[in-house]
Amino acid sequence: MDTDVNKSKSTPCIIISVGILIGMGLGALFISGLVLATNSFSQPKTGMIEEVDSGDAPQVNTPAPDFELDNLTGEIKHLSDYQGRVVVLNFWATWCGPCTYEMPFFQEIYESYESEIAVLAVNNQESVDRVNPFVEELGLTYEIMMDNDGGVAMQYQVLGFPTTYFIDPNGIIKFLHVGVLTEEQLDGYLNLLGVLE
C-alpha cells in the first residue's frame, strides 16, 4: 500500500521535472534562433573570417591571396588581374540552392557597375559541362572560374557554400559573408566599399 502511495506522489514530480527540462530546451532553441536571425539580417560586419579557427585563413584587412584558375572558356585568370576594382569573390556550386538565389543580385550589380566591380564566381569541383548550362539558364555574364580540385576554396578556408569575400581596389579583404546574401546585404557591403554611394 505504501508503495502505491509513493508511486502516485512521485509521478507528478517526474512530470513537472520533464516539463521543466523540455521548457528549458525550447527556451534555449528559441534564444539561439533569435541570435541566428539577428546575425543573418544585421548590417554588414567586418572580421567575420576571424571566427574560422585557423592561422592560415585569410584575414580581414590583409591582402587577398592571389590565385589562378581557368574560366569556362579555358582562359587562365588571376585574382590580381582585377586589382583596381572592387572584387566580389563568391564561392559556389550548382547544387547549392542559396547560391542560385543570390546569383541574379550579382548579375545586376555587375551589369550596373562593370567598370568599378568585378564579380568572380569560383565554382567548387564541378565540370564545365555541368556548369555551362546552369550559367546560360541564369543568364550570367560575370566571370565564372573553375576550382577543379577545390584548392582555392581550401586556400580561402571556405567551410560552406555560398561564401563571399569583398575585396577593395587595392586587393585588401574588407568583408566576409558566410551564407546566402540578400540584395540589401549585398548593397550594404558595396556601399561601405564606396561603390553604391
**Which residue in 193, 189, 195, 196 sits closest to 43, CA to CA?**
189
Write the DSSP assignment of 20-33 as a string of letters.
HHHHHHHHHHHHHH
Going residue by residue through the chain (197 aa), what tens digit of pLDDT does each one get? Answer: 555 555 555 555 555 554 554 555 444 433 333 333 333 333 343 333 333 344 577 999 999 999 999 999 999 999 999 999 999 999 999 999 999 999 999 999 999 999 999 999 999 999 999 999 999 999 999 999 999 999 999 999 999 999 999 999 999 999 999 999 999 999 999 999 998 76
Q: Are 142 and 107 in contact (CB under 8 A)?
A: yes
48-192 fold: Glutaredoxin (3.40.30)
Give residue-wise pLDDT tens across range 83-109. Answer: 999 999 999 999 999 999 999 999 999
What confidence score (pLDDT) does residue 45 get?
39
Q: Where are the domains of the chain?
A: 1-42, 48-192
What confidence score (pLDDT) does residue 193 get?
96
Buried b or exposed e, range 140-164, using 16+ CB within 10 angstroms? bebbbbbbeeeebbeebebeebbbb
Return the residue matching grid coordinates 542559396. Answer: 98
What confidence score (pLDDT) does residue 9 get?
52
**Which residue in 164, 162, 166 sits closest to 190, CA to CA?**
166
Angstrom CA distances, 150 to 65, 66, 81, 140, stand at 15, 15, 21, 22
Cell matching residue 182: 540578400
What confidence score (pLDDT) does residue 57 get?
77
Distance CA 42, CA 160 (A): 20
pTM: 0.73
